[in-house]
Structure 1
């Protein structure tokens, strides 16, 4: 399949530049795969589509202040985007300007030093914090790594976290979770719907564009995830009762479906995945999906097209554009049932 088959035109004014004034009040487009119909709702009304005994699985990763600015040996500005911790004070990262970030280069942030230790494929560097801990530098000088399409400088750190963000490590937010409030979660539980959590630290695998013409040639970056024994039991119980497992976000889909593809069942523990989901794909766990509207030609859009149907999803996107839904991280949501 060619990547251009997954392109679409989005007017710039529909790219949300800030979160809604109140969480839970985004718009929701409900896409029914069997009926091939669309319904417009306010996000809080999602509860109408949830049944007692269903299980919603959330990603409880927490975004770290992964973007660091410093000075290169020539006195000019340099930038590092942390991707994935691979050792004590050692990370995989992206850097700018890439040509100046040669092996051995030291980026200085005040009196703190970060060394480029190794250059890998796809522009990735191995970097090490030399005279301090990574945590100290991140907390003191780090910036929330907002996507490049968000130009609003007023975004606060709390705006780019879910309310259940608990385990630090992500460098991009699991944005489908933005729409949930504590109040909505309590109403969902009161209806008899179960709540579960896993952790997948969103990184380059989530947001790197597909650069190959043929989809099958794209290589996903590994992302770390953790599944608890409690979640495994919840999923198994729900499946036995013929109820639904509803994923809140594409990262939840990738974590759970990675387990099934690799082991044929869910096994508690800490893993990493580079699973690339694109049509056709056999889903073994997920029965419904809560997600935002994604970038053209992105791995996230391909996953959504695999879960539903490419023609149906593209009709839904066109419907959303015509009705001026907001797209991307701070945009409106879609529930695919």
Structure 2
């Protein structure tokens, strides 16, 4: 069984917890998790990549687990989140990496690809496509499109509201978010409803996350609660303002994009997925059947197969770091 090592780095004004695996001589592959997950969501990919000779790094992103979780909403701006990883790459001496992200980790990976075209030579993203900088903040568009009806991202905007609901019973919240279906995110309800109100907690764990696996997720969220993870959603306007210098830029690295056919994000972002090739000219994309949002776990074997094949062509393990 592959051994995972943890280290704590002081970077960008915080402590960043990073789990790693694989030979020290292996080319570095970074795996960035999303909401509400943890480094352990990459356990299958870490094992497969390490066994293939890569050195894999899976941080606990800002707000999660043993990493720092600042209270200030502004501490979770996209460029700050990128700076956490850039600082870690500096500390580890990384000059040539593959950067892969899922869910909220995907926008961080996309932006790192734009910010670090020399160091980030290969990209991977799962679930969340790249649409470039919109003409106005995305949250404004979401609010207008969801007048009179519930939208979970709009609901997350007011500090204190969503965390009061989710922190009231973190195990229940995580059972519903990790083990529920897309209805958790897309089920129609009034605008003034709560996120998880009235939903029945699954009586079993999903195939890809048994009781022992779930305990790792639960420990991660119990450490700080949901305030930090929710703050990732509260900077759309600031992110839009601060990334003006990236407007119109293409992602030029070889890029692998994976999406589950039943992923609610894919349904919400169908147009962006369709048009993404115009902004990512070296894009390779795959839609995985019988797969929802938690793609790297639900279809771990297929994801590993696609990753290793893609990296073998664009980021071979025999390369020199």
TM-score relative to the length of structure 1: 0.33
Which structure ranks higher in relative contact order (CA pairs < 8 Å, sequence separation ≥ 6)?
Answer: 1
- Higher strand content, 1 or 2: 1
TM-score relative to the length of structure 2: 0.35
Larger radius of gyration: 1
- Higher helix content, 1 or 2: 2
